[in-house]
Each structure stands twice: as structure tokens, then as C-alpha cells.
Amino acid sequence: MSARPRRSRCRPCEKGRSLSLPSKQQIPVVVLAGFLGSGKTTVLNHLLRHSGGTRIGAIVNDFGAIEIDAMTIAGQVDSTVSLGNGCLCCAVDASELDVFLERLTRPTTRLDVIVIEASGLAEPQELVRMILASENPRIVYGGLVEVVDAAEFDATRLRHPELDRHLAIADLVVLNKADRVGEAELGRTRDTLAGLCEGTAVIPASYGRVAPELFFDCRPKAETVGQLSFEDLCADDGDDHRDHLHTEYESLSFTAEEPMDPRRLMGFLDGRPVGLYRIKGHVHFGAADPHNRYAVHAVGRFLRFYPQPWGRAEERLSRLVFIGSGIDTGRLRQELADCRETTPQDAADEHGMWGVLRYVRDQEA
């Protein structure tokens, strides 16, 4: 993990290697890490309570305190328990991780996402390595989220200097308990985090309240086809949204009929602002790859593309949703519009896809 390029989060694709995905959609596995007392369990509880129609598999990797965290989350202690809302919870040791990933990814569970709560004393990069090295074809790594206690940040760094190393590989940082410190101290902590994890988004939170949409796709309780977009969350009939969590974030939907230029799009994505927490959708690269559309998934600095064959009658468009805080949506929209291929000369770059393929997990044919 530590040896990988800072931005790519995946191995470069080898020449001649097939880039096809399994026929069924893979389940993203998100690692939720942070030292003891940072609020990881509170964040996980919030995700489970506000899962809506999304089925979450929660794995608690707790090394010696399984009873405490598993009881807090599930109300009972067992290897696998149902939470009554379509979600499941497992309490495991690291050596059992593959076993429970296999169990949770069985088609009968119908899970949409798996969240692993790492032990407060665990090395999160080891869990990340295990997920990346897993031979389970039904999972895909979904990013590392590091939870930090704003009130105890300096003391935690003093006791656990390895925190700096953990932050350096995080894809997203949740600065929890932000309500317990003043604005000056919060600003100083954010400045320190900006230096420790350059380019990584930092989300202030209180009581672990982070919108699930920043971690993974959510679907409505009565979903028929497709995933819930961020705009759908803001469309509840007659509801007052002033006190809702999602009012703290902005969203941008972008659709383009023209193919996207891969080199320009990668320039946009590599330079995206730190306040842009989440990107999802699919991209049409035109003549650069006429056979596939490229699903895109980004959480913080984690980015990956998934080539998928176009449907026979599918309209060839690029559709993307961006979620963030403090972002200039007008500027982002213009920058995205500038990534379109608008002249025949734009499609002549035979090496343009190389930047995209850095973010495609290489797979055997």
C-alpha cells in the first residue's frame, strides 16, 4: 500500500492484460479506520441507521474488544447478526476476513456495500492490502476513511505517531467531534491535516454524522432500477431540508453527448479540489474505446474506473454526479465542458487512454 503512487490507488495495468469486469456488479468494500475513541463506531452506527434501502454488510475487526463494539452496533454478540433493516454485522479477527467477505458476498445476502470497522490499534494498510489481494471476484476496494478526534488530535499524535502514516494513505478524513473545539483550534487542526495528507478531503463532523452518500451509492427503499442520485435525496415531497445533513453539501450533475477526451478528463480529475468528496457515474470515451463505457467511482482521493460493455440500445452519453462542500459548481461545470471532444482532431490521440487505464484494476481475461 505505502509503495503505490499517491494518487492512483491501484496497480498500473500491464500491457496486453484484459480489462473486462465480472458480469455481475462488484460490492465495494470501504475500510473505516481511526484510533481508539475517535468515533468510528459512532460513524458506522450512523451509516447503519440512515442506510435507507441500502443493504450494508458491517464487519467489526476489533482485536480483543469484540464484545463491546459488536454489542454497541448489533445489540448482541455473534459471528454474524441481522440488524433488522437489511444490514448484517460480523465480529471478526483479521485472519477471518476473507471467510466473512466470502459469506457476506453470497448472492442471497443482496448487499450493496461492505464497511469494515478496523480496530483502533490496527494498521489500516494491512486491511487494505488484504482487500486488494483478495481473490474474491465479487468485491472491489472502495477506499480508506480515517476518523480523527478533533478534541484529542494533538494528544493522539503524541501517543500514536503512526497516525501520521495512516493519514498519509487515507482517501477521506472525517474530523469528528468538531463541536467540541473552537473555530481557531478546528482551523489549526485542518491546516495540520492538510499538510499530513496533502490533497485528501477532510470532512468536519459532530456525533459521527456523515452523509452515507459520501462513502457509497445509496438506493431508495422502493428502488426498481438503478441507484439513487444525490438529487433524489433533495426531492422528498413537501419536506423541510434545512436541518438535514445533506444541506451541508453541494452537488453537480453533468451530462455530455459528445465523447470525453481522456487526457483532458484525467487532468481535471487529478487536479480536482479537496472539497470534492464523491464522484460517480459513467463516461463515454468515443473512439478511444468504442466498445465500453467507463463507470467511475471516487471517494476523496481514491479513484477507479470500471470498463463495462455498452448495452445494445443504450444511449452513448457521459453522466456524472459530483458531491462536495465549498466547491464552485459553475467553474467545475465549465471545466468538465472543456473536457469534451468537440473536433475530429480531439479523437486522434492514440495514447490518450493511458491515464485512464492507470485507474483500472487489472484483471485476468
pLDDT at 14: 32
The amino acid occupying position 344 is P
Q: Which of 150-164, 197-211, 219-233, 293-307 has the lowest mean pLDDT?
A: 219-233
| Cα–Cα distance, 213 to 230 (Å, whole number) | 7
% of the chain exceeding 70 in pLDDT = 72
How much is the pLDDT for 93? 58
Is a pLDDT exceeding 90 seen at residue 349? no
From 48-57, 254-263, 324-333, the region with the lowest mean pLDDT = 48-57
Average pLDDT estimate for 182-191: 94
Query: Of 297, 58, 28, 294, which is closest to residue 141 (Cα–Cα)?
Result: 28
Q: CB neighbours (10 Å) of residue 279?
A: 20
Pick from 275, 42, 33, 35: nearest CA to 154:
35
Asked whether the beta carbons of 100 and 91 are under 8 A apart, the reply is: no
pLDDT at site 222? 47
- Which residues lie below 8 Å from residue 278, measured CB to CB, with a gap of 6+? 213, 214, 215, 298, 299, 321, 322, 323, 324
Q: How far apart are CA 143 and CA 32, in angstroms?
A: 9
pLDDT band at 248 (very low <50, low <70, confident <90, very high): low
CB 301 within 8 A of CB 279: no
User: Does residue 68 register a pLDDT over 80?
Assistant: no
DSSP code for 20: P
CA dihedral (21, 309, 296, 117) positive or negative? negative
Question: How far is Cα 181 from Cα 178, in angstroms, rounded to an integer?
Answer: 6
Q: What integer pLDDT is reported at residue 233 of this predicted model?
A: 36
CB of 14 closer than 8 Å to CB of 360: no
- Does 60 have pLDDT greater than 60? yes
CA distances 346 to 263, 341, 342, Å, are 10, 5, 7
Query: b/e map of 81-93 (b: 16 or more CB within 10 Å)?
Result: bebeebbbbbbbe
Residue 333, pLDDT above cutoff 90:
yes
pLDDT band (50, 70, 90) for residue 124? confident
Q: What is the mean pLDDT of residues 199-216?
A: 88
Per-residue confidence band for 24, with pLDDT thresholds at 50, 70 and 90: low
Q: Is the pLDDT of residue 350 over 80?
A: no
How confident is the model at residue 206, as a pLDDT?
92
Average pLDDT of every residue of the chain: 76
Residue 337's pLDDT band (cuts 50, 70, 90): very high
Does residue 187 carry a pLDDT above 90? Answer: yes
| pLDDT for residue 310 | 92
* The predicted structure's pLDDT at residue 319: 92
Q: How confident is the model at residue 346 (pLDDT cuts 50, 70, 90)?
A: low
* Cβ neighbours around 205 below 10 Å, total: 23
The residue behind cell 454488510 is 57
Instruction: Report how far residue 199's alpha carbon sits from residue 34's, in angstroms, rounded to the nearest whole number.
Output: 19
SS3 292: strand
Span 265-298, pLDDT tens digits: 999 999 988 888 888 889 999 999 999 999 998 8
Average of per-residue pLDDT across 98-104 = 83
Cell of 302: 481514491
- pLDDT value at residue 111: 87
Residue 320 backbone phi and psi in degrees, to 5? -135, 145
356: pLDDT strictly greater than 60: yes
Q: Which of 56-60, 82-86, 238-242, 254-258 has the lowest mean pLDDT?
A: 238-242
pLDDT at 345: 66
Assigned C-alpha cell, 274: 479537496
Q: What are phi and psi of 326, to 5 degrees?
A: 70, 20
More confident site: 164 or 222: 164
Q: What is the pTM of this model?
A: 0.68
Q: Which secondary structure element, helix H or strand E, spans residue 135, and what is its range?
A: none
Which one has a higher pLDDT value, 136 or 248?
136
Question: Mind listing the pLDDT tens digit for each residue in 130-156?
Answer: 888 888 889 988 899 999 999 999 999
Q: Is 131 helix (H, G, I), strand (E, B) or coil?
A: helix
